[in-house]
Amino acid sequence: MFSKQLPRLLSRNRNICSQFLQISEEINEALTVGKQSVVALESTIITHGMPYPTNIQCALEVEKQVRTQGAIPATIAVINGRIKVGLSKNDLEFLGDTDRSRPIKISRRDFAYALAEKLNGGTTVAGTLIACQQVGIHVFATGGLFFFPLTFTYTIILCHLKGIGGVHRDVNDSFDISADLNELGHSNVAVISSGVKSILDISKTLEYLETQGVFVATLGENHGFPAFYSRSSSHQAPYRVQDTYQAAKIVKSHLDLGLNSGLLFAVPVPEAYACDPEKMEFIIQEALRKASEKDIKGKARTPFLLEEIARASSGNSLETNVALIKNNAKVASEIALKLQEIIT
């Protein structure tokens, strides 16, 4: 039975030629022997989420968290026209110094341009999923925070986890649906995030994920689909998974079936860090109003909204929020390790 399943779990879909793809030795070795304990991390958090140099410190902290759990972090980005799977400290420092690296935001449609022009860039969830699919990584944690530096000596980190994109509230007019959702529909990857932000239309996002055939579950005590700031929303996830072992078993059968579609595990924000939903709704409304007023469209819209919201919300302390950012990475590492255990 095992030998029959092995090829599928090891399957890679490497169409991108090596000229464009560089995998770190450690990750390549792990994937070559079929290890599932590699956790992908996205890089728009570094390039479009936080100011320098906090972005670098934070990326290193998340990688450390994955290692502490016993898994291997694979931060994915485009550096000098190559897709890198597993960034060195030098790479992270270069990419994070955005005055030097001048990074663009890379989703599916941006890859060819970025590679041909030898640019640097942070990969979105969609962009990161493409790289995962190519190299055979099956677990991916989104997670991060939006930082808002004050003029004091202390940096306040705000209550904003990064997450997947989705269907925007004004979709009827704007047609704005993140490419993340389509990519989730055809990537053999389990994404761990804190749900989707309520800047989006959560109900339509869940519908769209259903159409795309993405398995969606809340990992926690109830079915309520988390909305980042709050542990739950008025929307229900189709499934609830009680722990990371159950999650790993589902990932395994999903991969064995060869469905070629993705899974989304939504992890509610720990109670202590949740925000007041009414206050958030007020701030979101204001941000949406400004975006329409300024006619912010396309790939600029999500970063604009997130930045506006970060600016308008009240801050939490650095230490508590770094604890928060690590939560998704921890859960993802646990799922990756349990998946590894199940298949060996």
| Separation between Cα atoms, residue 58 and residue 100, nearest integer Å | 19
- 197 touching ligand PSU, by CB under 6 A: yes
DSSP per position, 1-57: -HHHHHHHHH-----S-TTTEEE-HHHHHHHHTT---EEEE-SHIIIIIS-TTHHHH
- 182 touching ligand PSU, by CB under 6 A: no
Identify the residue among 37, 198, 302, 328 touching ligand PSU (CB under 6 A).
302
- 61 touching Mn ion, by CB under 5 A: no
- List binders of ligand PSU among 66-125 (CB under 6 A): 107, 124-125
Q: Which C-beta is closer to Mn ion: that of 176 or that of 307? A: 176
Sign of dihedral through CA atoms 65, 161, 243, 167? negative
Q: Which C-beta is closer to ligand PSU: that of 217 or that of 284? A: 284
Closest distance of CB 125 from Mn ion, Å: 12
- 163 touching ligand PSU, by CB under 6 A: yes
Partner that binds at residue 121, options ligand PSU, Mn ion, none, CB closer than 5 to 8 Å by kind: none
Identify the residue among 306, 324, 331, 343 touching ligand PSU (CB under 6 A).
306
What are the CA-CA distances from residue 46 to residues 27, 57, 95, 172 (Å)?
21, 10, 7, 31
Count CB neighbours of 256 within 10 A: 14
Residue in 84, 162, 197, 338 annotated catalytic = 197
Chain position whose Cβ is nearest to ligand PSU? 165
Residue 281 annotated to the active site: no
Q: Which C-beta is closer to Mn ion: that of 37 or that of 182? A: 182
DSSP per position, 193-220: ESB--TTB-HHHHHHHHHHTT-EEEEES
Q: Which C-beta is closer to Mn ion: that of 86 or that of 166? A: 166
Buried b (16+ CB within 10 A) or exposed e, 269-286: beeebbbebeebeebbee
Identify the residue among 103, 136, 165, 195 touching ligand PSU (CB under 6 A).
165
Residue 197 annotated to the active site: yes
**Beta pairing partners, 158:** 315
Closest distance of CB 207 from Mn ion, Å: 17
Closest distance of CB 114 from Mn ion, Å: 18
Q: Which helix (H) or strand (E) holds 309?
A: helix 301-312
Sign of dihedral through CA atoms 225, 226, 231, 233? negative
Q: Which residues contact 249 (CB under 8 A, 6 or more apart)?
A: 342
SS3 119: coil
Q: Which C-beta is closer to ligand PSU: that of 191 or that of 241? A: 191
Instruction: Tell me the per-residue interface mask from 28 to 67 with ligand PSU, x by CB under 6 A, - otherwise.
Output: --------------x-x----x------------------
Residue in 35, 42, 162, 330 annotated catalytic = 42
- 176 touching Mn ion, by CB under 5 A: yes
Tokens of 116: 């041909």
Identify whether the C-beta of residue 45 lies closer than 8 Å to the C-beta of residue 60: no
The contact set with ligand PSU (CB under 6 A) reads 42, 44, 49, 107, 124-125, 162-165, 178-180, 197, 299, 302, 306
The contact set with Mn ion (CB under 5 A) reads 176
Which amino acids are annotated catalytic? 42, 197
